[in-house]
Amino acid sequence: MIARSASRYCLKLRPTLARPVSQYSRQWCRRYSIPSGPLPTASSSSSTGMLAPFVNELDKIAPSFHINGSQIRILKTPTDFYEALKTRIRNAKKRIFLSTLYIGKSEKELIATLQDALRANPELKLSILTDALRGTRETPDPSCASLLAPLITEFGSDRVEIRMYHTPNLTGLRKKYIPKRINEGWGLQHMKLYGIDDEIILSGANLSNNYFTNRQDRYHLFSSSEVTNYFWRLYQGVTSLSFLVEPRNDVPAGYKLRWPSTNAAPSPLEHPAEFVSQATPLISRLISRDETLNNPKLQDQGSPVSRNTKVYMLGQLSQLMKPDSSTELPAITHILKTLAAPEYAGSAWTFTAGYFNPAPSLTNLLLSTASQNNVVITASPFANGFYKSTGVSGLLPDAYTLLARRFLRAIKEKKRDSTVVLKEWRKGTVNEPGGWTYHAKGLWVTLPNEQHPAISIIGSSNYTKRSYSHDLEAGALIVTEDNDLKKRLGDEQKWLQEYASPVTLDDLAKTERRVGLKVRIAMWIVSVVGGAL
């Protein structure tokens, strides 16, 4: 089907198209022995015609692969995610690589599952990447680092590698005196990549108990060696810029962080400017659209006949690159700008972020689309992980309430009241029996005259200003003509709204939703650490 779609892209010539077909699209046409030409405009009534303006520009932004829609499995619950992860770990043959913000210090079952797999298969290798600040926060008490170090002791450094990324933005006196919880605001390793052999789960979830039980997120399982190998290469690039965990019995913490001489750059703590300078060409190359074109190991394999879905690899690794050539923000910006065209007046989008603090540019773009039936989903204060937490972090739910109020005011000012609805997600109350938190993030786009989304973004990003400046993010943009995958994306969009209710300015004006003077403190916290979870 994807070959026929390519044919329609390349043969339906439209002389009025202002922008020429991209280099990648020309290569796509050559691959299938199809004459290249301009892509059709959005005036085409077909799904292919409506997708063309998106694809033409996206091909210039990010690397991509053609797969079949059946190679993407959408998981629904935290339990589904955890069971899928454990099952694949148990059956792993050659490699496991896990990139996460942190692994919960009490995750003994997950560690035992990894141990069992390593013991059962001497050929299996394990690599784990976490953030150094979050992974060592509790040191010298038990931490993520001390939990993982014994794996190296048991299986050896040739089979187990534990890496921890440290931001170059936090050094010297700043690192010495800023409190540990706040210091994470200067940048984190936030990619969520769970790769086992030739499959990978992309998600926003971390690896700790609440993400396995009662913290709603999104989880897409890609059964594709091309997609998995691409993220494996990106993963390796970041690990070559990270500290190595070494087990040590002579220190209370049980481990030490060492900067290997074989790393791709000097330590970010000793030479931060040089670290970024040397990281820039490495990371820029790995996220470039040319990475898949010039690397035979990453190119599409096998028959293209049933490849009806295109998956773009997105990376937002701004703090590692000067100049910044990240791909996620340009990709989502292009999607929303395209939706502003009058031809897309019949389209619809759904946007979700557990911590609702989108970058100002995204807020403006969301409210400037021509789409008429749009939904924003965010966490209710009662589903916010900071609800009733101790210290200043307990003010954060109020901060997000204020941000939601500002968003609703912007909707009203732009006269979009009838086309954009804000919904708050709540399933019980945090820290009470049956209470869940909400952590899902993503975007779905349904084209005019269609019932289900043809475009969706899945990944780690919270879409905040900080996501686009300080943290390391990775994800995928799905563009599909597969009707079954479209339906499943639509189902995902719907089930995330099962516990979501519309909220208005009048609702937020009620006494119980008003925010106090301390909210300014909370707002500052959001600007520094918000969206890091």
Annotated catalytic residues are: 190, 192, 197
Q: Which two tokens stand for residue 526?
A: 């959001």
Judged by DSSP in three states, 292 sits in helix
Closest CA to 103 of 205, 5, 195: 205
DSSP 472: B
Q: Cα–Cα distance between 4 and 46 in angstroms, integer? A: 13
Judged by DSSP in three states, 239 sits in helix
Q: In what order do the strands lie in the sheet with 219-222?
A: 72-75, 219-222, 199-203, 193-196, 95-99, 125-131, 160-165, 243-247, 255-258
DSSP 265: S
What values do phi and psi take at 359, rounded to 5? -55, 140
**269 contact partners, CB below 8 Å, separation of at least 6:** 166, 168, 171, 175
Contact 194, 200 (CB under 8 A): yes
Judged by DSSP in three states, 129 sits in strand
Strands 125-131 and 95-99 come out as: parallel
Q: Which two tokens stand for residue 258?
A: 């060492």
Q: Cα–Cα distance between 460 and 458 in angstroms, integer? A: 7
Closest CA to 168 of 65, 256, 255, 277: 277
Contact 118, 125 (CB under 8 A): no
Q: Cα–Cα distance between 353 and 334 in angstroms, integer? A: 19
| Other beta carbons within 10 Å of 302 | 9
Q: Which residues of 123-138 are buried (b: 16+ CB within 10 A; e: fewer)?
A: ebbbbbbbbbbbbbbe
DSSP string, 5-22: HHHHHHHS--TT-SSPPP
